[in-house]
Structure 1
Amino acid sequence: MDVLINLIVGLHIIGIAALLGGFLTQVKAMGRGEARFVPGMLHGALTMLVTGVLLVGLNQADDQPVNNIKIGVKLAVLVVILGLVYVKRDEEKVPAAAFGTVGALTTANIFIAVLWT
């Protein structure tokens, strides 16, 4: 079971890398007001959602402790990210505030995962 959980953790990290990487590639364009949500950002966020749910289920099935409040906060942040990216995905230019919010929430989600013990 540990190998499966670690594999899913790896996929979860790939998802967050796709989301944050997509944001970082558009930061310069955000300064010019031309940023847009690239498809990799949506796919990364969806990967995070699916793998996160799998991780919670697998850890509970393996009788590992799960901090449900932390998971709920991370899920709420991810739902906001997904909502913004999904709704604005077809727009040629995304407002800098919406784009910056996705980057800030993604970074916050990383720090929640790492620092909340």
Structure 2
Amino acid sequence: MDVVINIFVALHIIGIAALLGGFLTQMKAMGAGAARFVPGMLHGALTMLVTGIALVGLNQMQDHPVNNIKIGIKMAVLVVILALVYVKRDEETIAKPLFGAVGGLTMLNIFIAVLWT
């Protein structure tokens, strides 16, 4: 079962990489006021959501300790990210504050995952 959990952790990391990578590739465009949410950002956020839920279930199934408060906060942040990206995905340009908020929330989610022990 540990192999399955590790596969889902790897997929979760790939999802965050797609979301953050999509944001970082648009940083120059954000400076010019032409940033947009690329499809990889939506797919990355969805991958994070699905794999995150699977990881919680798999860890609880194995009786591993799960910090439900941490998971709840991470999921709330991810749902906000996902909602923003989903609603604005078809727009040609995204306002700088909104685009920056998605990047900031993505980094917040990473820091919560890594630093909250």
TM class by shorter chain equals over 0.9
Alignment-mate amino acid for residue 114 of structure 1: V
**TM value normalised by structure 2:** 1.00
The aligned residue for residue 66 of structure 1 is 66
The runs of at least 4 aligned residues of structure 1 exceeding 4 Å deviation read none
1:45 aligns with 2:42: no
What percent of counterpart residues are identical? 79
What aligned pairs does 1:1-80 form with structure 2 within 5 A after superposition? Answer: 1-80=1-80
Alignment-mate amino acid for residue 70 of structure 1: K
The aligned residue for residue 104 of structure 1 is 104
- C-alpha deviation, 1:89, in angstroms: 0.1
The aligned residue for residue 85 of structure 1 is 85
- C-alpha deviation, 1:13, in angstroms: 0.1
Alignment-mate amino acid for residue 99 of structure 2: F
- C-alpha deviation, 1:41, in angstroms: 0.1
Root mean square deviation, CA, Å: 0.2
1-side partners of 2:97 and 2:87: how far apart?
14
Alignment-mate amino acid for residue 103 of structure 2: G
Which runs of 5 or more residues in structure 1 are unaligned? none
Alignment-mate amino acid for residue 37 of structure 2: F
